[in-house]
Every structure is written in structure tokens, then in C-alpha cells.
Amino acid sequence: MTIQTSLAPAAPVRPKTAPKMVGDKVNVFYGAKQALFDVDLEIGENRVTSLIGPSGCGKSTFLRCLNRMNDTIESCRVSGSILLDGEDVYDRSIDVVELRARVGMVFQKPNPFPKSIYENVAYGPKIHGMARSKADLDEIVTSSIRRAGLWEEVKDRLQEPGTGLSGGQQQRLCIARAIATKPEVLLMDEPCSALDPIATAIIEELIDELRENFTIVIVTHSMQQAARVSQKTAFFHLGKLIEEGATSDIFTNPKNKQTQDYITGRIG
Amino acid sequence: MPTSHNEHIVTSYEDELTALAASISEMGGQVEAAVADATRALLKLDHAAAKQIIAHDKQIDEMHRTIDDMAVSMIARRQPMARDLRAIITSIHVAGDLERVGDMAKTISRRTLQIEGLSLTPKFYNGVKHMSDLILRQLKAALDAYATRDATAAVEVCNADDEIDALYTSLFRELLTYMMEDPRNITQCTHLLFCSKSLERVGDHATNIAEAAFYLDTGRQMSESAGDLHRIQIKE
């Protein structure tokens, strides 16, 4: 009998380090309706974690807990704890504005400010007082746009409105804007759902590059996208975390039947 | 909550998966019959039957191509995941193994056509017949394990392969002894020896199919630890 080695995992095995973020018994209520039930989830540093599940399963709700975006919804109540480097982000001492600078977000629909490309990216560093001089600010804007893979396309028209770019370029501009404040964690809520396949491929390539410097959490409806970009996948259903694990395992050999049914298209 | 045996939301996808499984079963059945017929034709030196088996191999090859095309098309159009992905990938492997088994039946039949002017002595061919029975049992068990996604049955098939290898080794010795006893036995014993080698290889393909069944059921490759799996080398 020839020896058969099992499939090599997609991501190299990393030494076990403390997770960047930890959700511990997270419950979320919108008024009387409970949206999340006792979710425990660790977000590994410099890794891409994808959250998948049918609409209304709570994956976006969980994502929005990570930088307290849910605070903006009046009826929303969160219990349990969300730790960022061991510190509870829901602690009274936490400055929410500062938290959101550390945990940036990119949304489903590209939403550039109705300002110039330059101003879009410069806005965050300005309000957080990250630049001492115009030269400093220029440097931050340039490097952010470069890292977002947009530089070659916009370097000659930084003063033109950001809204004049194509959808894919706008989304990369939003990513540049999000990373300009030097966040540690980048949350992405279906960042490619409004983009064509080429623009999607560019963003996915970018996610892979950004992983070196950022911890990324992505919500996606595309199973293939989760399989392509992430190292860890968490499956949510009806507000519960059903299964989490290495992406390569989840998509070839999920342990849970509900996960199996969802990723193979047997429950919606 | 969904119960077991959920159907795919997309009916046409479900239909394709069903059709793929049905094609494997059908090809498996045809190949089993080809091996059984080939052995029978050999022992009876039935040239007409042997010719029919050789002609029928074209159909088996055609089924192999059809299954490959179905699988490739489904991968391209459906982006299968998890169990579905494993079902489609293993169907490619299993169809490949079955095609090879079909070739073995053809090889045995070709040899049957070459044997002329002598009748085989039961003393000599009993071992081959016994081996053929065992192989057919293995092939059937492997195909059943695949169809029912039964990892336990698959491991049993792999473990039983040692028995076939041992049988082949003893058959080899036995035929060698007849040849040494009387050089006039050499021709028919050599033919039988080659045929038993073909049968032994059918056993190897049955093992491959069982391994595919194990992977299909568990999502893990069958490793050495899955059973006491080792092949007895022919030293002579």
C-alpha cells in the first residue's frame, strides 16, 4: 500500500499566539428580538477570518460588535465581552472614536465622501491628529493609496472627486481610507458584493497582501470568496455560531451537518 | 432544521449529482460483469464470449469519458463544496479505476483467444477460479462501500486485499511447480499466470475504489493507520 498524505492545509501552521480579538458569550438584542446567542469566537492576528451564513444569521451583527458600530442602533443591546488585545471594547473607559480608528471598517457599497480622492483618505488621519505637517499627511495619503493598490490609477488625479471613480476603484479608495488611520483590525462587510469579477479579484488580492499588516474579518455571501481569501471560517445560523475552523477543513470536510447543508446549497 | 438526505435547493444540481452516482453504479455493474465473463470465457476457452468482452470494452471506455465530462462540467458550473465536491472528485477516480478494470477483462479475453489447441486442466485452473471469485467479491464490496458511503466497509475491503496478494503468491508457486514437473504444462500455466496477474491488479483497483469510498464518507484520506495495510511483495 502506498502511503497517502492528506491534503496540505491552505495556510501554513502558525505558532499559537494570543488572538487579536476575542468574542466571549456575545449576546445581541435588537429590542426584544435576540440576534446573537452566546457567540464565542477568536480572531487570530494577521489572519483573515471569514464569517459566513444565510441572511439574518447574525454574522454582520457580530462584525459590527467588534468596533461597536451597533452603538449607532438605538434599540441594540450587547452582553458578553469583546476583547481587543485583552481589553474589553465595551468597557466604559474605551473611547469609541479611538476604537474605530483601531478597528476600521469597509462596507458593502463603496461609500466615498463627496470630496476629492486625496481628501477621502486624508480625512481620518486629520481628525485623529496623525499628521504634523502637510508633508506628513501627503505621505500617509500616498502610502495608503499605494497599499490599497490604487496608486497607479489615481496618482495624476488626486484632486478629482472620489465619486468619479469606478465601483472597484471606489471600494479600494474606501480601503485606503480605512487603512489611513493605521487600524490594527479591518472589518469588511461584503466588500465585493457590488463589484464585477475583475474588481473582486483585485480586492481579494489586496486582502491577501493586507493580511501581513492587519487582522482582517470579512463577512461574505460568496462561499468561494471565503474559501479563497480566509484562513479561518466561522459559520453562523439563526444567531448561533454553528462551526468554526480552518477554512480548508470547513469547505472540504465540515463537521456539522448544518454547515454541510449550507455550503453545499441545501439550506438558504 | 433540515434532516438527513436533504436535497439541493437547485433541483438540476441535485439531479446531476444523482445522475453521476447512477453512472458510476452502472459502469461498476458492467465492469463486474466483464471480469466475471472474462474469467468464465478463459476457463471454458470460449472464444466467442472473449471476443464479445473485447468489443464491449469500447462501451466501458465511453462511460468513463462520459463520467469525466459530467464531473468537469459540474465543477465548472456548480463550484461544488464539501460532500458534493468529494462525490464529484472521487467519481473521476473511481471511473478511472473501473476503466482500468475493464482493460484487465479485455487483457484476459485477448489471452483466451491466443490459447488454441489445448484444453485447460481443472487441476491447474482451480486456483485462478478461486482467485477470480475472491476478486469479484472485493470489487462488489468496494463499489457497495462507495455507493453507500460506508467507511467501515471500505477499510474491510482494503484489509482483505492482503488475502488476494497472498493467494496470488501461492498461485504463482503452484503454477511454477506444475511447469517444473512437466515442461508440456508450461504453455497453459504461463497463460494462467498472466491472467492471475491481471486479476490481482483488479484487486488493487478495488482497493483504490475502497479508498475513494473512505474519503467520500469521512473527508479524510485513508492512512496507513486505518488498518494493517501492507502489500506482500512477490519475492520469487
Among A65-79, A246-260, B3-17, B31-45, the minimum mean pLDDT is found in: B3-17
Average of per-residue pLDDT across B15-38: 96
In the predicted structure, residue B217 carries a pLDDT above the cut 60 = yes
Q: Checking DSSP bridges between strand A87-88 and strand A76-84, what pairing results, if any?
A: antiparallel
Residues in A closer than 8 angstroms to B9, CB to CB, are 265-268
Contact B2 A257 (CB under 8 A): yes
In a domain, B60, yes or no: yes
Helix (H) or strand (E) holding B96: helix B82-114
In a domain, A66, yes or no: yes
Q: What is chain B's mean pLDDT, rounded?
A: 89
Full residue range of the structural domain in which residue A213 is found: 21-263
Where residue B4 falls among pLDDT bands split at 50, 70, 90? very low
Q: What integer pLDDT is reported at residue B180 of this predicted model? A: 92
Contact B81 A264 (CB under 8 A): yes
B11: contact with A, CB 8 A cutoff:
no
In the predicted structure, residue B233 carries a pLDDT above the cut 60 = no
Q: What integer pLDDT is reported at residue B230 of this predicted model? A: 42
Cα torsion at B30, B34, B36, B39 (round to 10°)? 180
B43: contact with A, CB 8 A cutoff:
no
Q: What integer pLDDT is reported at residue B232 of this predicted model? A: 33
Of A261, A262, A263, which to mutate for an interface test with B (greatest number of B Cβ within 10 Å)?
A261
Q: What integer pLDDT is reported at residue B121 of this predicted model? A: 80
Query: Where are the extended beta strands (E) located within A32-75?
Result: 33-43, 48-52
- The interface pTM score, or ipTM, of the predicted complex is 0.71
CATH number for the domain including B187?
1.20.58.220
Where residue B5 falls among pLDDT bands split at 50, 70, 90? low
User: d(Cα B105, Cα B33) in Å, to the nearest integer?
Assistant: 9
In a domain, A16, yes or no: no
Q: What b-and-e string marks burial along B118-142, b requiring 16 or more CB atoms within 10 Å of the CB?
A: eebeeebbebbeebbebbbebbebb
Nearest CB to A266: which of B9, B80, B221?
B9
Nearest CB to B219: which of A252, A259, A267?
A252
In a domain, B34, yes or no: yes
Where residue B223 falls among pLDDT bands split at 50, 70, 90? confident
Helices (H) and strands (E) in chain A, counts: 10, 10
In a domain, A226, yes or no: yes
Q: In terms of pTM, does the model score above 0.90?
A: no
Instruction: Give the pLDDT means over successive 10-residue stretches in chain A (268 positions).
Output: 43 63 95 95 96 93 94 91 94 92 92 94 92 92 92 94 93 94 94 88 91 95 92 96 94 92 82
Contact A4 B2 (CB under 8 A): no
How many CB atoms neighbour CB B228 within 10 A?
A: 10
Where residue B123 falls among pLDDT bands split at 50, 70, 90? confident
In contact, A166 and A199? CB cutoff 8 Å: yes
Closest alpha carbon within chain B to A247? B82
CATH number for the domain including A130?
3.40.50.300
The total number of structural domains in chain B stands at 1
CA angle B183, B196, B153 (to 5 degrees): 155
- How many CA atoms lie within 13 Å of A140's alpha carbon, on the beta-carbon side? 25
Of B75, B81, B211, B225, which to mutate for an interface test with A (greatest number of A Cβ within 10 Å)?
B81
Amino acid B125 reads Y
Closest alpha carbon within chain B to A1? B230
Nearest CB to B82: which of A5, A224, A264?
A264
Count of A-B CB contacts under 8 Å: 67
In contact, A246 and A81? CB cutoff 8 Å: no
Q: What integer pLDDT is reported at residue B231 of this predicted model? A: 36
Q: What 3-state class would DSSP assign to B174?
A: helix
In contact, A263 and A251? CB cutoff 8 Å: yes
Q: Which residue has the higher pLDDT, A199 or B206?
A: B206
How many CB atoms neighbour CB A3 within 10 A?
A: 8
CA angle A10, A50, A8 (to 5 degrees): 10
Look up residue A255 and give its DSSP letter: S
pLDDT tens per residue, range B177-205: 999 999 988 988 899 999 999 999 999 99
User: d(Cα A52, Cα A267) in Å, to the nearest integer?
Assistant: 13
In a domain, A244, yes or no: yes
In a domain, B236, yes or no: no
User: d(Cα A237, Cα A217) in Å, to the nearest integer?
Assistant: 18
Full residue range of the structural domain in which residue B128 is found: 5-231
Where residue B7 falls among pLDDT bands split at 50, 70, 90? confident
User: d(Cα B232, Cα A121) in Å, to the nearest integer?
Assistant: 69
A264: contact with B, CB 8 A cutoff:
yes
B220: contact with A, CB 8 A cutoff:
yes
Where residue B235 falls among pLDDT bands split at 50, 70, 90? very low
Closest alpha carbon within chain B to A6? B221
Residues in chain A: 268
Closest alpha carbon within chain A to B221? A6
Sign of CA dihedral B83, B88, B89, B90: positive
Q: What integer pLDDT is reported at residue A1 of this predicted model? A: 41
In a domain, B17, yes or no: yes
